[in-house]
Amino acid sequence: MRVLVVEDDHALAEVIAEGLRDQGMAVDLAHDGLAAAAKLDLASYDVVVLDRDLPGLHGDTVCQMITDRAARPMVLMLTAASAPGDRVSGLTLGADDYLAKPFHFPELVLRVHALARRKPDARPRTLRAAGIELDPVRRIAVRDGRQLVLSVKEFAVLEALLRTSPGFLSAETLLEQVWDENADRFTNTVAVTIGRLRRKLGDPPLIATTPGIGYHIA
Amino acid sequence: MRVLVVEDDHALAEVIAEGLRDQGMAVDLAHDGLAAAAKLDLASYDVVVLDRDLPGLHGDTVCQMITDRAARPMVLMLTAASAPGDRVSGLTLGADDYLAKPFHFPELVLRVHALARRKPDARPRTLRAAGIELDPVRRIAVRDGRQLVLSVKEFAVLEALLRTSPGFLSAETLLEQVWDENADRFTNTVAVTIGRLRRKLGDPPLIATTPGIGYHIA
DNA sequence: GAGGACTTAACAACAGCATGACAACGCCGC
DNA sequence: GCGGCGTTGTCATGCTGTTGTTAAGTCCTC
């Protein structure tokens, strides 16, 4: 899952980003509205965590820019003020959920997950395919009754593959979906991660390769 | 992402191409309108970066050729002139975005990305015939509920046959459609690929041969 | 049964991918 | 702070499946 955090307080932004990364999300940062707009053009996000009080372009404006689009990410608006009116106008502007600072971090995580599930191309609570059962929120993966111990990246790759099943995912697309903007495009880290994932998945082989096309769940 | 850069200034063309390649894009070059037209027939691009002042075929003409098509790439028009009228006529001709030389390179990159994301998903419905279901976008082929694992060429040949169904495709036509312009006309590779495809399709036979005419879906 | 047209098997070349070893990094307990 | 541990990315190397080719085999027509 790919998330954009828009927050002018650098320290807070880092805290949020790190916390979400621990959850296996690919997180990009923007510290003002303009940077956010640029990043939104460069990648497609599942969720945007958006501070309402931004320098330059106001959060409300950014929110409208996002929600004007056809295929848009879900927006979780953060606000310092807790005036009840804010909630209303925020939602009116098209934010999909609302969270007042200060907030408990676990709640932020929960809401981001919940928003991702509400997306039009929604992801079900648990993904199932070919003897695999995967719970993205609780981060549990089971194959044939046996629980798998996966690293953050391995889990994210497996989730992406299951979501796309029975379709294909190229290494390039996986880089976009699972890694963040700092990923080197000419690396073979995807191949390595797939390899490690395959080993943990055990037999029979679950992930198949079609040279020149990508990976898919067999 | 696949990009065609059409620019008669070889040095500038190289600079643009290299810069876009650094962004992980697959970039082809054309130095005049005719070459551009030829390449556009041979491959499907996501974005065309098009210089307006081209020798031979003018950029405007090339732009119209592109935008007349159904499944067309997005066009970013480059122009030396910055007269305000240019922008209007350029966009009128169907360019999707406009950039005046000299430009800042990061801006070019941003706009190419933005265009790619604006590109409407060509949604060619799944192709169906005789128990076969084929989704060119997700690259899935299913026969009687069983997913087929096809190589790049095999898939392309099957797709071509289904698109032409119930018509015929000669080996020569298949060579043109699936292989590139440099393919040896006296090769046997089409027949071999058809053979391998038949084996993967299994029984009952799906691809029939009419000697002297070509192949078709039975 | 001779000839043409297509099919098939076997092989070699190649690109793309897989893999093991290693290094860098952060995390944790002590 | 230090050493151990797991994760992640990089690199070099080896391997595997795909692809095009050649040549032998099959089928049909005349």
The ranges assigned to domains in chain A are: 2-118, 127-217
Each of the 218 residues of chain B gets a pLDDT tens digit; together they read: 778 888 888 888 888 887 777 666 777 888 888 878 777 776 678 888 988 878 777 777 777 777 777 677 888 888 776 555 555 554 556 677 777 777 777 778 878 887 777 776 655 567 787 788 888 878 888 888 888 889 888 998 898 888 887 788 888 888 877 876 666 778 888 889 999 999 998 878 888 888 888 888 87
Under DSSP, the state recorded for B169 is: B
Protein residues in reach of strand D (CB < 7 A): A 149, 151-154, 179, 183-184, 187-189, 192-193, 196, 210-212; B 149, 151-154, 179, 183-184, 187-189, 192-193, 196
Tell me what pLDDT residue B86 has: 52
Q: Is the pLDDT of residue A69 over 80?
A: no
Q: Is the pLDDT of residue A48 over 80?
A: yes
Give residue A156's Cα distance to chain centre: 9
Name residue B197's amino acid. L
CA of A191 to C1' of D2 (A): 34
Tell me what pLDDT residue A189 has: 92
Tell me what pLDDT residue A70 has: 62
CATH topology of domain A2-118: Rossmann fold (3.40.50)
CB contact under 8 A, B147 and A167: no
Q: Which residues from B are below 8 Å from A213, CB to CB?
A: 139, 152
Chain D bases near protein Cβ (<7 Å): 6-12, 17-23
Q: Is the pLDDT of residue A198 over 90?
A: yes
- Pick B110's closest partner by Cβ from A38, A164, A208: A38
Maximum Cα–Cα distance for chain A, whole Å? 56
CA of A151 to C1' of D7 (A): 7
Count of C-beta atoms within a 10 Å radius of residue A8: 17
Tell me what pLDDT residue A91 has: 54
Structure tokens at B218: 């039975």
Q: Is the pLDDT of residue A57 over 70?
A: yes
Å from A6 to nearest chain B CA? Answer: 19
CB contact under 8 A, A166 and B140: yes
Using the CA of A150, which nucleotide's C1' is the nearest one? D7
Q: Give contacts of B 14-43 with A, CB under 8 A.
A: 23-24
CA of B124 to C1' of D22 (A): 39
Instruction: Give whichever of A83-97, A178-192, B101-115 has the largest mean pLDDT.
Output: A178-192
Distance CA A210, CA B200 (A): 15
Tell me what pLDDT residue A214 has: 92
Look up the protein residue whose alpha carbon has the minimum distance to the C1' of D17. Answer: A211
Q: Which residues from B are below 8 Å from A185, CB to CB?
A: 23-24
**Are B114 and A41 within 8 A, CB to CB?**
yes
pTM of the model: 0.65
**Are B68 and B35 within 8 A, CB to CB?**
no
Q: Give contacts of A 109-168 with B, CB under 8 A.
A: 164, 166-168
CB contact under 8 A, B24 and A185: yes
Given pLDDT bands bounded at 50, 70 and 90, which one contains residue A196? very high
Given pLDDT bands bounded at 50, 70 and 90, which one contains residue A82? low
CA of A74 to C1' of C24 (A): 36
CATH topology of domain A127-217: Arc Repressor Mutant, subunit A (1.10.10)
* Closest of B104, B113, B3, B95 to residue B52, by C-alpha: B95
Given pLDDT bands bounded at 50, 70 and 90, which one contains residue A209? very high
Q: Is the pLDDT of residue A72 over 80?
A: no
Q: Is the pLDDT of residue A110 over 70?
A: yes
Count of C-beta atoms within a 10 Å radius of residue B201: 19
**Average pLDDT score over residue span A146-170:** 88
Q: Is the pLDDT of residue A92 over 90?
A: no
